Amino acid sequence: MPDELLTVLGADAEQNDKNAPELSERDLRTLYEALVLARILDEHCELLHDGGKLSFWVPSGVAAAVAAGSALALDDADWLYPSFRSAAAYWLRGGSVEQWVAQMLGSADDSQHGRQVAGHASLPDGRYVSVSGVLANHVQQAAGTALAMRLRGEPAAVLALLGAGSAAQAGFHSALELAARLALPLVLVARTDGHLDLASRAAGYGLGTQRVDGGDVLAVLKAARAARALAAGGRGAQLVEAIVHEGDAVDPAVRLRPFLEHRGLWDPGRQEDLQQRCHARIAAAIEVAESIGKPPAATMFDDVYAERPWMLQEQAEQLSRELETREENA
């Protein structure tokens, strides 16, 4: 039997208020703003893509609610292994919009030196690991980090975000096997369309599970927070199946807004102001990224090894000569 589907945001405002997870006004606003920002970033990305300036990106879409709710459920000491559609989580873990955009466009400000396509920002201070380009590999790594936490006796947890596609990968299953066997402080938040019934599969491995309405950011937060408490408290690994219907595309910010209004935290004036600020901030970040250009090409030879071995040194010199010749000929 699948778990009951957890929902907070329904039609009855009083009921919503009663069901909602405990949240300060400040956190509630931050959560809402992250969702709005994710939506507006999607709009800018679409324009950049249409203009030929962004070759690859994955929109946050409704999944922003899953990323944001999950990120806000964590303590500072916890780790987050994101997947694509996790921009909101990056910001909620302390990352800046400007760095996200710099990474997305591979500008000189990108701390990863233009090595990865959009959506792979890294944030070690926020214990937010750069998204892997390969499906489900990070699930196994999250289990490894959770194991390391356990060995060190740290009272924290690891949360990994993943999509339904990851559930077919071997790494997903070997991670569940290990996490269940060792009762690791691991929380997996998986987006599915509900047909997979991933929760039942995870329960088969021995994980605690909860199904949740993935477009409902407060429900995700509530479920992820409960799962996190169980996992960190020694009750074993947990899986939250966040059911998201990409097609219906109800903006999770729009769904959350009446909740804020009901608490007197929001009004149309604030909304307009927020949207303007988000647009302006993203537009400014894009402008900076486009105007400062790419990082120096020589950085491509850094970070392959702790120190550059001879062949990389030679190749760096070769490229430098090629670029000089190109400039002379230009």
Which residues would be at the binding site for other proteins (CB under 8 A)?
Answer: 79, 110-113, 115-116, 120, 122-124, 129-130, 132-134, 137, 140-149, 151-152, 158, 170-171, 174-175, 177-178, 181, 302-306, 309-311
Residue 326, phi then psi, degrees to nearest 5: -60, -40
Element (H, E) at 243: strand 238-243
- Cβ closest to other proteins, residue 4 vs residue 307: 307
Helix%, strand%, coil% for the chain, nearest 5: 55, 10, 35
The whole-angstrom separation of Cα 32 and Cα 271 is 10
Cβ 292 to other proteins, closest distance in Å?
16
With tokens 């850094």, the residue in question is 302
The whole-angstrom separation of Cα 192 and Cα 244 is 6
Cβ 282 to other proteins, closest distance in Å?
22
- Cβ closest to other proteins, residue 32 vs residue 128: 128
Cβ 150 to other proteins, closest distance in Å?
9
114 in Cβ contact with 294 (< 8 Å): yes
Cβ 53 to other proteins, closest distance in Å?
22
Cβ 206 to other proteins, closest distance in Å?
13
Q: How many helices (H) and strands (E) does the chain have?
A: 12, 6
- Cβ closest to other proteins, residue 6 vs residue 190: 190
**Cα dist from 230 to 50, 63, 117, 184, 268, whole Å:** 45, 24, 35, 10, 39
- Cβ closest to other proteins, residue 96 vs residue 137: 137
**Cα dist from 224 to 65, 151, 305, 325, whole Å:** 12, 23, 37, 56
Cβ 293 to other proteins, closest distance in Å?
17
- Nearest C-alpha neighbor of 118 from the set 10, 45, 185: 45
Dmax over Cα atoms in the chain, in whole Å? Answer: 71
- Count CB-CB contacts under 10 A for residue 292: 13
- Cβ closest to other proteins, residue 53 vs residue 181: 181
Cβ 312 to other proteins, closest distance in Å?
8
Cβ 129 to other proteins, closest distance in Å?
6
Element (H, E) at 163: strand 158-163
Read off the tokens for 293: 């250009």
With vertex at residue 307, the alpha carbon angle to CA 314 and CA 106, rounded to the nearest 5 degrees, is 80
- Cβ closest to other proteins, residue 11 vs residue 151: 151
Cβ 120 to other proteins, closest distance in Å?
7
- Cβ closest to other proteins, residue 59 vs residue 114: 114
- Cβ closest to other proteins, residue 19 vs residue 122: 122
- Cβ closest to other proteins, residue 38 vs residue 142: 142
The whole-angstrom separation of Cα 254 and Cα 78 is 29
With vertex at residue 24, the alpha carbon angle to CA 18 and CA 27, rounded to the nearest 5 degrees, is 115
